[in-house]
A and B are shown apart, each in its own frame.
Chain A
């Protein structure tokens, strides 16, 4: 019976609820096509990493998930992306509300040029999530705590967020994303500008956040993808070549192109 175990666990992970379901997603930047019909189911409370060489469309795909591509005039998105039971490209969808449900953390930490407190309070305020000042304080404190930053900044919440170190700034951005209680957090190479220690802290945080959020992360670090994610999708030339449990992708990839990429053989 022992050899049945892996199959059972594989089935268990199959049965996880699907948070975001992308079908036949295409993206054009003007005449240039960046994505060619991408299908991907993103499981709830899991970290999904998107890997692939530069220009393969992984960031483009990530930005489709909260309609960040809307901000680019020449960009057009086709296909369907469902978040729960809504089609996020439905014209009736309020984009601001969508982005509160699907938050984002970028490559470079980009705190607002405001105090640490205001950086966190901004989102909940514009979305009208807090009734009064003490409510707001609670949200700020708990967001900073969840992002593992509170102890480091509790005595200087009124100092500018831009005065923090790079790693702290990135965790501030994660706290800011958490403050509006999103369901999904998208991260576009969140550690590429950080040193190894700050990276380790953010990775630790990602693992903790998985309990309450669904996380999709774009990363160029194979080791990072292997460490933090449960599922991995390998993009190449605007398509998903292979998607599956991270463990399998990094130990026994099925596709030769995946094998070549993760072992550093891509020409």
Chain B
């Protein structure tokens, strides 16, 4: 898209998009770190990760202020307006993703000294990989304004959900086998739930990217596709 006549307007929008990218990168790393801390039972890393959430919170604040100011100053229309609204929405999702990551790190701290079945942690690791791939893909889709990639992420969320359901059953089996596993498994189950929620936020971002690009909500499109499938 060509530049605005008022070049500082372009600077405003670029700054917003830049902050979103920065926030996305930080949120992604925070989730990675929290999982690494959990897998290796690294308490130092876990507490560092908990601390890092404040940086993301202040980025969220900055984005909100910048967005409000830009709306007030430029009275954006059409694509520009969607650009700003999208930044607002995505920053909320990223802030939540970082919170969920922080939560995983907190649970790691709570698990200190407890014996953990390797196999269960592997399940969590696998799920984290999938959720993080979703997050990475959707952040790339944002940078590239790629609505097709966003739709891909949107559809792939089913896999994260399915994995969560299977992990849930697995944890349940362990808990029934030996009640001493209950405390540990409950913490891991919450971690799995957090990862599932991270996947949901990634799909929210995918929906926002689709809206940013087309001006339409993604749900409607999905509705049409389902109808077609039914007809087939």
Contacts and interface: CB of A to CB of B under 8 A. Distances in A.
Nearest to B82: A251
A222 B76 CA distance: 10
B78 A262 contact: yes
Interface stretch (B4-12, B47-55, B58-66, B160-168): B4-12
A223 interface: yes
A94 interface: no
Contacts of A14: none
Interface string B3-45: 1111001000000000000000000000000000000000000
Contact of B78 (A3, A223, A251, A266): A251
Nearest to B5: A264
A267 B3 CA distance: 9
B75 A222 contact: yes
Contacts, number: 42
Given A3-B223, A251-B81, A251-B215, A263 B3 contact: no
A3 B76 contact: no
A223 B71 CA distance: 12
A-side interface mostly: helix
Contacts of A263: 4, 76-80
Contacts of A266: 5
Interface string B63-101: 000000000001111111110000000000000000000
Contacts of B215: 251-252
A80 interface: no
A259 B78 contact: yes
Nearest to A260: B2
A252 B77 CA distance: 9
Nearest to A222: B77
A48 to B, nearest CB: 18
Contacts of A265: 1-5
A257 B46 CA distance: 52
A264 B78 contact: no
Interface string A70-108: 000000000000000000000000000000000000000
Interface string A237-257: 000000000000011110000
Contacts of B178: none
Contact of A252 (B75, B76, B78, B80): B78
Contacts of A250: 77-78
Contacts of A260: 2
B106 to A, nearest CB: 40
Interface in A174-212: none
Interface string B215-229: 110001001000000
Interface string A211-229: 0000000000011001000
Interface string B90-126: 0000000000000000000000000000000000000
Nearest to A226: B77
A12 to B, nearest CB: 20
B79 A264 contact: no
Nearest to B80: A263
B132 to A, nearest CB: 33
* Residue from B5, B6, B9, B77 whose CB has the most chain A CB atoms within 10 Å: B77
Interface in B186-232: 215-216, 220, 223
A253 B78 contact: yes
A260 B75 CA distance: 15
A226 B1 CA distance: 23
Nearest to B220: A3
Contact of B2 (A222, A223, A251, A267): A267
A250 B80 CA distance: 11
Contacts of B4: 263-265
Nearest to A249: B78
Contact of A264 (B9, B82, B220, B223): B9
21 contacts: A3-B223, A222-B75, A222-B77, A223-B75, A250-B78, A251-B77, A251-B78, A251-B82, A251-B215, A252-B78, A259-B78, A259-B79, A260-B2, A262-B78, A263-B4, A263-B77, A263-B80, A264-B74, A264-B77, A265-B2, A265-B5
Interface of B: 1-6, 9, 74-82, 215-216, 220, 223
Across the A-B interface, the 8 shortest Cβ-Cβ residue pairs: A252-B215, A262-B77, A263-B80, A265-B2, A264-B4, A263-B77, A3-B220, A250-B77
Given A252-B215, A264-B6, A265-B3, 16 more contacts: A222-B75, A222-B77, A226-B77, A251-B77, A251-B78, A252-B78, A259-B79, A262-B77, A263-B76, A263-B78, A263-B80, A264-B4, A264-B9, A264-B74, A265-B2, A267-B5
